Every structure is written in C-alpha cells, then in structure tokens.
Amino acid sequence: MMLDAFLARDILRAVDDGFEEQIAFTEELIRFPSLRGAEKPAQDFIAGELERRGYAVDSFAIDLDKIHDHPGFSPVDVDYSEAVNVVATHRPRVETGRSLILNGHMDVVPEGPHEMWDVSPPFTPKRVGDWLHGRGGGDMKAGIAANLFALDALRRLGLQPAARVHVQSVVEEECTGNGALACLVEGYTADAAIIPEPVNERLVRANVGVLWFEVHVAGHPVHVREAGSGANAIEAGYRVIEALKHLCEAWNAEKADHPHFADLDHPINFNVGRIEGGDWASSVPAWCKLSCRIAIYPGDDPADRARAIEAHLASALADDAFLGNRPPKVTWNGFFARGYVLDEGSEAEAALARAHGLASEAALETFVTPAYLDARVFVIYAGMPCLVYGPTSESVHGFDERVSLASIRRVTGAIALFIAEWCGLEPVEAPQQTARAGTD
C-alpha cells in the first residue's frame, strides 16, 4: 500500500527532528576503533542503545561449530570468542505487515599510518561542511545509525512497525561475511533486508564474490656473500604476483559471459594487500607470505575458482628455476564468498524506489559493484530480496574517509518511509478502550 502524502511528510520531518542526535550518535560509533577482533566495545555500546529503546536484544559470539558446514562459510584462522553480533527485535502488537531486517556491519578496516590522515585522526570524528570524517563513518557506521534512527523517527510520531523487525549490527563483513551468516544460521530471516552501505544513494543490482588467500613461498637461505647459491623467497614472491595478475586479466576477459558485468571496465580485481617475509638483512630470505584478494563472478563456485588459482600457479611457475621444484603453497584464510544478483521486479525494490523518490526527489538508480557485500547471505541462502542502499561517501578503506551529512539525512528518510510502507505502522500505545456509554 502506498503511503499517504501527509504521513510521508511527517515522517521526513521526524527524521529531521532527530538528525542532530543521529549525527552525534554516528560520531560516538566512529570513536570506537572497531577493527577486526576489537569490535566488542562498539557492539556492547549499540546493544545498550537498543536495549534502552526497549528492543529484545540478542548478543552472541559467532559459533564456528554452527556455521562451518554452511555453504556460505568462509574459513578463518582467528579466535571468534569476542566476535559478537548484535540482533535487536521489534515485535508489533498486531502483525499485519511484512517483516524486515535492517543490517549493518560494525567492523572497519585498518586505518594505516595516522600521520597520513590530513583532516582529523582516523577515530576522531570531525564535521567539515557537509562531510563527516572518520574511519568507518561511511563504511558503515552512518548506515547503522540510519537504521536505528529511522525507527526512532517513527516512534517520535507515536508509531512503530506493524511487523517483526530485526536490527542487526554484525562483525566480519570486511574479511569473511561470517557475521551476517551466523545471524542467518541463528534463524533470523524476514521478507526483505536493507543494508545501508556507502553506495551513493543507489541500489546494488549485482556484485562480485570474493576469495582471500595466502601464498606461502619458500626460499633457500644462505649468507648474502654467496647469494647466487641461494633462492630469495621475497623475489620469488614477485614472480607469484605476476602470475596472479595474468590470471586476473584472464578472468576479466570472461566478463562478456556475465550480463551485469560486461559493461564494467575491470570487474575482477586482484590485490596483494600484505607482504611478510625474510628474517635478516644479510640472509637471503627463507620465506615470504603474500596475503591476496581476488573477485569472482556471481554464479561462480568459490571452490572451483580456488582450484583454478592453484592450478594456474602450478602451471605458470612450472618452468621457474626454483619455484618449479618448490611450488608455493596456497591457503584459504578469509572470504570464500559467492557474488549475487538482486532480481529485478521485487516488491521490496519498488517500495524502496517510492521511498527514495519521496526522500530525494530523484529516481532510484541501480549499479553493479566489484566489491563484496553481506547481501549475498540474504539473497543466496535465505531467498530474500536484500536492498544495499546507503549514503554518499568518499575514500572508504583510504585516508580521510568521509560521508555526506545531507545524504545520510535523505537515506534515513528513505529507510523510514520504506519501513512505513513495507511493514505498515501501528500506534506505539495500545488505543484506549472507548468507554461504553450508559449501561441500559
């Protein structure tokens, strides 16, 4: 059912009324350096905020035993005892609408050397004109706050969703996707989901899957005075990188087979994100470890592509004077995730387009992204439409990450309007029983 124009106007005004508080809350979130393995203080904070608002809050550490046999699982070599997800649940007095999950991830990527941040230190939020600066502001603490404050705006009008709503704050989005997966395995599903990732107020139509792996290169250590008789593992690592770049170009050449990706310039990106190796400046390095990331197309089975990487390295390096006899070893230590396509024509998408039109006075555009998104968990393993739609942001994963305040306001308005249409609304307070007039 489409929203009444007066109610829509009141909802957007209620978002405006709470906006200063919303941005202060977003700044609070940015102050938590919620890097991988250190998310718990931020998660405890948001759990408290959700409890204070009266939601039933479920905080739980990811249980590897429960998820490691799931087809969406990504392998890990880290401890999950502090990797806590938070799921808050709203239940209506009378369930008449469609249920909804409002999801966001609390983990942020490492900030790099602080002296290379110009505007503000990474975890010290700072407003400059229309921009809010800070690591994780765009990706995606502004989105987590938008989910919460969209519901708050409805409450300010004395209204709440007439359907079950789960507000999720998950971990592990930047490395495995196991946080969102663990919520699904706990049983949290709904008729639709929204993830306000920093995607410039557009809707994600499709995205790639991602594989993380490490390549372990062994060398032959000798004293540097007789370097010619040794084998340098770090230099051998260069040859591994070159081989993987060739594989990446071969995979890009397949893009015409993937309708949503044919028009992208370079859908498959390979990255060596970290190199470790060697022990001593005067010893030819005995080892080198490359931490890598590559994308795969929707429909690709991660296991097939993983085998293709191993086979490619074996054949590309077969004639290498040293690596030919000591092939590098590949291990899988993170994302092992499929890409997804959001089917066109869903009712959820139509409702978001209407909400976006009211909040932004613009048509909703869709786009395809060569990055991982937790939406694959909902779309592939729960058959749910998952709408990745969130604010305009710049320099995510870079220095001086920033998110647009005007954009956060429009997105929060659109989410609140979406909830109103999708879930329907009911008064927060039960209506007073009308006193019966007379007794005769």
Q: Which residues form the interface with Zn ion (CB under 5 A)?
A: 139-140, 197
Check residue 54 and report its DSSP letter.
T
Closest CB to Zn ion among residues 139, 400: 139
| The token pair that represents 42 in the structure block | 């931020």
Alpha-carbon span 402 to 394, nearest angstrom: 5
Phi, psi of 205, deg, nearest 5:
-85, -35
Closest CB to Zn ion among residues 18, 136: 136
Closest CB to Zn ion among residues 197, 214: 197
Min dist. Cβ of residue 390 to Zn ion (A):
9
Min dist. Cβ of residue 34 to Zn ion (A):
12
Closest CB to Zn ion among residues 199, 284: 199
Residue 288: CA atoms inside 13 Å, Cβ hemisphere, count?
25
Min dist. Cβ of residue 216 to Zn ion (A):
29
Count of CB atoms situated within 10 Å of the CB of 128? 11
Closest CB to Zn ion among residues 230, 390: 390
Directed axis angle between helix 178-185 and helix 375-382, to 10°? 40
Min dist. Cβ of residue 375 to Zn ion (A):
11
- Residue 123 CB partners (closer than 8 Å, separation 6+): 30, 31, 32, 33, 111, 134, 135
Min dist. Cβ of residue 230 to Zn ion (A):
43
Closest CB to Zn ion among residues 123, 251: 123
- Least Cα distance to 159 among 422, 412, 424, 411 occurs for 424
Min dist. Cβ of residue 197 to Zn ion (A):
5
Closest CB to Zn ion among residues 139, 152: 139
Alpha-carbon span 202 to 409, nearest angstrom: 15
Closest CB to Zn ion among residues 197, 300: 197
Min dist. Cβ of residue 420 to Zn ion (A):
26
Where would I find the H helices in 157-258? 178-185, 233-252
CB-based burial of residue 436 (10 Å sphere; 0-12 exposed, 13-18 middle, 19+ buried)?
exposed
Residue 86 near residue 46 (C-beta atoms within 8 A): yes
Min dist. Cβ of residue 374 to Zn ion (A):
8
Alpha-carbon span 416 to 412, nearest angstrom: 6
- Residue 225 CB partners (closer than 8 Å, separation 6+): none
Q: Which residue is nearest to Zn ion (CB)?
A: 139
- Residue 278 CB partners (closer than 8 Å, separation 6+): 233, 234, 285, 286, 287, 288
Alpha-carbon span 401 to 136, nearest angstrom: 7
Closest CB to Zn ion among residues 172, 197: 197
Min dist. Cβ of residue 176 to Zn ion (A):
13
